[in-house]
Amino acid sequence: MASSWTGTLEKIAECTWRIPETFMPGMRVPGIIYASDELIGQVRADQAPQQLVNVAHLPGLAGPVVAMPDIHWGYGFPIGGVAAMDQDNGVISPGGVGYDINCGVRLVRTNLEKKELLPRIRSLTEALFRDIPCGVGEKGRITLTRKQLFRVLREGSGWAVAEGYGRDDDLLHTEEGGCMEGADPALLTDRALLRGLPQLGTLGSGNHFLEIQAVSRVYDPDIAALWGLRENQIVVMIHSGSRGLGYQVCDDSLDTMVKAMDTYGISVPDRQLCCAPVRSLEGRAYFAAMAAAANYAWANRQIIMHWVRRSFERILGASPASLDMTLLYDVAHNIAKFERYTDAGRERELLVHRKGATRAFAPEHPALPARYRSTGQPVLIPGDMGTASYVLAGTEKAMTASWGSCCHGAGRVMSRKAAVRAGKNRDIAAELARKGVHVQSRGHRTLLEEAPEAYKNIHSVVDVVESAGLARKIIQMMPLGVVKG
């Protein structure tokens, strides 16, 4: 990772730091970083704050650019960065979405108790590892024609459910109903389509995972009960994205965006922030291609969830319905979306980039399904494979302070290469087994890359977003079985 950052950070409130817009010529808005006194040193450990400064140079920003406590170095935008653009004079940037378009998380409830599942955890984890393809470049179990792929890219999770991979109520509890409007598969290159054809229904590698978890703590019993959550309950978390197709959509867009900046006279301090006006031909084309990749990711997670249900059914000898395997929610991490916000009494629609950040809409937001209208949106925060994950609820403060956004995980403090070097001669699987976590992985290197020490303390990160008022804790979960690529 890049060297540490020594620029100006002003503490303006509890867990809230500001980089003033006077810090660097060309900044149009300040940068806001949410972090505790404990975490701010880790925030400074690489050049991610400078990346936030660079984002603050983009034209058409509707207000401050924001970074979550899991901020770390990324491509163009820092991971953990959020920026909202005015439609008329703002821009759209692939670096503000990232390569893994709509990398996201979904959480499946069950009626199982920890004590009754523990004797079967090994066999169940091994079944999930067999049933759900994972790993770099791994092909899926579904053979698609080009025509079928175009339907996936237009319809997202709806295509999967229509084909028998799930239920209609799954769509109700998926962000955007599992389908972004405006997707145009015809804008994807042949290379992107070829990469997408064999990978639907695959987990991938790196930080993607599938975990069997048990609810270890309930912070808000009333909301937990409304959401069907309780202590010692078994849940399943799925973390995956748009696979090679999404990567290729991002990669294919970069040359076009660099040329567009020359066409429209846009200057940025880092070419990784290449962009085009939101309403331009290039901007609209990228959005349509990105939306198609986002729909692929939602269909991907929907199909994986279907196979999770089937694995539970086979190993436990009970149907998904009898196990009450229902979707709590599905959230996207890397995406750009049009959303409505009120500023000084004026409502306007903005294009919000979230790069390694989770939507955290407040109670009564019209985009939320009826089940969550009174409580705020479920916010799913995965930890690393040896520590806790969390479910939080969105707040009104998030709508005014962070563009309806929250953190998306713990955030790396070590690069993958550094983690592999540091873990030389370690047996991560054995270490986790001693903690009661059964792990199945395609390779030893992935476990080294994703070792708990490679990440910030998830408890500290979640405490920050709660202290800052961006979300409130509902439950904590601990892993029992983990599948990695």
> Do the Cβ atoms of 379 and 327 come closer than 8 Å?
no
Question: Nearest 5°: phi and psi at 212?
Answer: -90, 125
What order of strands is seen across the sheet that includes strand 31-34? Answer: 10-13, 16-19, 31-34, 65-72, 79-86, 346-355, 334-343
**Structure tokens belonging to residue 5:** 């950052």
Fold of the domain spanning 10-484: tRNA-splicing ligase RtcB (3.90.1860)
What is the C-alpha to C-alpha distance for residues 93 and 77, in angstroms, rounded to an integer?
9
DSSP string, 213-274: EEEEEES-HHHHHHTT--TTEEEEEEEE--HHHHHHHHHHHHHHHHHHHHHHT---SSGGG-
SS3 state at 380: strand
Residue type (1 letter), 75:
Y
Q: Whose structure tokens read 């925030």?
A: 43
Is the pTM above the cut of 0.95? yes
Chain centre distance of CA 400:
21
What is the separation, in whole angstroms, between the first and last Cα of the chain? 23
> Do the Cβ atoms of 124 and 315 come closer than 8 Å?
yes
What is the C-alpha to C-alpha distance for residues 79 and 206, in angstroms, rounded to an integer?
15
Catalytic residue from among 408, 438, 444, 459: 408
Position 344 scores a pLDDT of 66
> Domain map of the chain by residue range?
10-484
Position 402 scores a pLDDT of 98
Q: Which residues of 275-289 are buried (b: 16+ CB within 10 A; e: fewer)?
A: bbbbebebbbbbbbb
Rounded average pLDDT per 10-residue block, the chain, 485 residues: 85 97 98 97 96 98 97 97 97 98 98 97 97 86 95 98 97 98 98 97 92 98 98 98 98 96 97 98 98 98 98 98 98 97 85 98 97 97 92 97 97 90 90 93 88 92 98 98 92
Of 475, 482, 471, whose CA–CA distance to 15 is shortest?
471
> Do the Cβ atoms of 295 and 155 come closer than 8 Å?
yes
Q: CB-based contacts of 192: which residues, under 8 Å, 6+ apart?
A: 245, 248, 249, 252, 289, 293
Catalytic residue status for 408:
yes
Q: CB-based contacts of 437: which residues, under 8 Å, 6+ apart?
A: 385, 386, 479, 480, 481, 482
